[in-house]
Chains A and B, each alone.
Chain A
């Protein structure tokens, strides 16, 4: 039987009277690559931040791995969930090596193990350790910084990675390279769950084993990409799919 790693039941989130998320229910299985697609204000980032407790639900229950979030030590939990964010993720005052080593240091690993991990992870994300580890984030390109961000998220070998629009600030070619690499990486690292938030429909459909489409704090559809394209469940999903078709038509006109 597949193991559930994230479980939301009847989760809602309000800021004052503003309801951002209403009655969210879903589960993610261990080893899945789930992408969450939605426009800004759809509640997708809030949903992601509720997984590592950066946001707390107004009501409902969240279980991550085996921990009920309202009953566990969130600081400890966060050290075992990889977290990748958009552009500003790396600390500017720390070298690349120190950035990757942040959480291992919090966990009190010895220096030798940390050094080895940094080298391995930089290698994994295709950056030469000798060349990059003593540089500062400001000396790297956006794409390289995002690779380091990914390496940092993997530093404690967590079972779950949550990624908040990690590639949205990058230009098209670099973004596509990184998409291919992260997909390959997910296949290579067996049994790691990726929860990846994006507003780019192509990215969501390309990367996700399953795609969760969110709108106004509700899930419109949560299914395999091919099923979403074949059977859009709601008008909103139909409109989304139509935008891709529209683009395709444009390309054909140019030919």
Chain B
């Protein structure tokens, strides 16, 4: 194990960076798209439900097939992987976003209107802040699943930690598979810790107060 690390550490670090870059880019894209979709469609329930349904269908496409299907359109490489990951992430992020926003007590929305907020102000000042805990828990799930799915991106030459897994599979060695797994887990944990930190800064104290 250790020997393998010593021989390949530079290359493994490189793979880790690729992996993180792929997942983070996909997550960012998915998050921005989710925010835009919510702002445009939150008051159109039918549209919103159809969108979620659409992304849930995409989510159920096996990842291997999804990568393969995109190759004729976007070719091999990192960007194809990012697109696939963004589509998968979109479903979970959007779903949590909407659930969070819809679960805000309608009484608060009426009060917001009553004190003179416009619909957009109500969304930004009342609904979104109260939906943040749900949004962050969605981000965590998305991060973990995107990290795992990204290993498959190796098959379309997008790089990342999947390279180690497939190297192990092809050469019948256990060590690279173990390293690939360990590093994927580490990367996921680091990501989750970072999300937690951002969450703590953004949600401040009110949520703790409410939970008692």
Which residues in A have some Cβ–Cβ distance to B below 8 Å? 52, 54, 75-76, 78-80, 83, 85, 88-89, 91-94, 102-103, 106, 136, 138-139, 152
A92 engages B116 (CB within 8 Å): no
Known A75-B118, A76-B116, A93-B130; judge A85-B206 contact (CB<8 A): no
Q: How many A-B residue pairs have CB under 8 A?
A: 60
Closest chain B residue to A89 by CB distance?
Answer: B111
B130 to chain A, nearest CB (A): 6
Please, could you name 25 A-B residue pairs with CB atoms under 8 Å apart, sorted by A?
Answer: A52-B114, A54-B110, A54-B114, A75-B116, A76-B116, A79-B115, A79-B116, A80-B116, A83-B114, A91-B108, A91-B126, A93-B130, A93-B206, A93-B207, A102-B117, A102-B125, A103-B115, A106-B115, A106-B117, A106-B121, A136-B205, A138-B206, A138-B209, A139-B209, A152-B115
CA distance A52 to B125 in the complex (A): 21
* Contact of B107 with A by CB under 8 A: yes
CA distance A152 to B116 in the complex (A): 12
Q: Which residues of A contact B117 (CB under 8 A)?
A: 75, 102, 106
B32 to chain A, nearest CB (A): 23
* Contact of B6 with A by CB under 8 A: no
CA distance A163 to B91 in the complex (A): 42
Produce 1/0 per residue, B37-80, CB < 8 A to A.
00000000000000000000000000000000000000000000
* Contact of B105 with A by CB under 8 A: yes
Q: A91-B108, A106-B121 are in contact. List 8 more A-B contacts (CB 8 A).
A: A52-B114, A54-B110, A78-B113, A80-B116, A88-B107, A88-B111, A93-B129, A138-B209
CA distance A91 to B209 in the complex (A): 13
Q: Which residues of A contact B212 (CB under 8 A)?
A: 138
B210 engages A92 (CB within 8 Å): yes
Q: Interface size bucket, B side?
A: 20 to 34
B115 engages A102 (CB within 8 Å): yes
CA distance A182 to B205 in the complex (A): 31
CA distance A83 to B117 in the complex (A): 13
Q: Which of A54, A136, A152 lies at the interface centre, i.e. has the most chain B CB atoms within 10 A of its CB?
A: A136
Closest chain B residue to A88 by CB distance?
Answer: B107
A86 to chain B, nearest CB (A): 9
Produce 1/0 per residue, B110-151, CB < 8 A to A.
111111111001000110011000000000000000000000
B116 engages A54 (CB within 8 Å): no
Q: Which of B114, B121, B207 lies at the interface centre, i.e. has the most chain A CB atoms within 10 A of its CB?
A: B114
Closest chain A residue to B118 by CB distance?
Answer: A75
Q: Which residues of B contact A139 (CB under 8 A)?
A: 209
Known A92-B210, A136-B205; judge A54-B113 contact (CB<8 A): yes
> Which B150-173 residues have a C-beta within 8 angstroms of A?
none
A192 to chain B, nearest CB (A): 17
B70 to chain A, nearest CB (A): 40
CA distance A136 to B111 in the complex (A): 17
CA distance A139 to B116 in the complex (A): 26
Q: Which residues of A contact B210 (CB under 8 A)?
A: 92, 136, 138
A83 engages B111 (CB within 8 Å): yes
B209 engages A136 (CB within 8 Å): yes
CA distance A136 to B210 in the complex (A): 9
Q: Which residues of A contact B118 (CB under 8 A)?
A: 75
Contact of B108 among A78, A88, A106, A152 (CB under 8 A): A88
- The 4 residue pairs across chains A and B that have the minimum distance between CB atoms: A79-B116, A138-B209, A78-B116, A83-B114
CA distance A88 to B107 in the complex (A): 7
Closest chain A residue to B119 by CB distance?
Answer: A75
